[in-house]
Amino acid sequence: EAGVTQFPSHSVIEKGQTVTLRCDPISGHDNLYWYRRVMGKEIKFLLHFVKESKQDESGMPNNRFLAERTGGTYSTLKVQPAELEDSGVYFCASSRGGSEGTEAFFGQGTRLTVV
């Protein structure tokens, strides 16, 4: 079974540019999460999809961030326009629905550097 896949693994962009991160969850996992770790601090929650619906987006920092999960499969996280403080590692995770949903499987992350 393939794990959670994220790409690109690294991205370096200039301030003001747009970047789109992609996450392919484990097949059959209804729950998909985005997290971010900035500057060696704690990993923070951004948002949670259940299938194609946004269940919780309370962690999204501002309206420069847009997440989508069309068809309930892969998800994208777009940052537009990027700012210096957006630099960090963006993790995606997925889990099954229902009572099995206590364990989340993480991707390797996308390291975003805004210069």
Residue 4 interacts with another protein (CB under 8 A)? yes
Residue 33 interacts with another protein (CB under 8 A)? yes
Least Cβ distance, residue 31 to another protein (angstroms) = 7
Contact 75, 92 (CB under 8 A): yes
Residue 65 interacts with another protein (CB under 8 A)? no
DSSP of 53-64: EEEE-TT--STT
Least Cβ distance, residue 106 to another protein (angstroms) = 4
Least Cβ distance, residue 108 to another protein (angstroms) = 4
Cα–Cα distance, 65 to 78 (Å, whole number): 6
Binder among 32, 86, 109, 112 for another protein (CB under 8 A)? 109
Burial track 87-97 (b if 16+ CB lie within 10 A, e otherwise): bbbbbbbbbbe
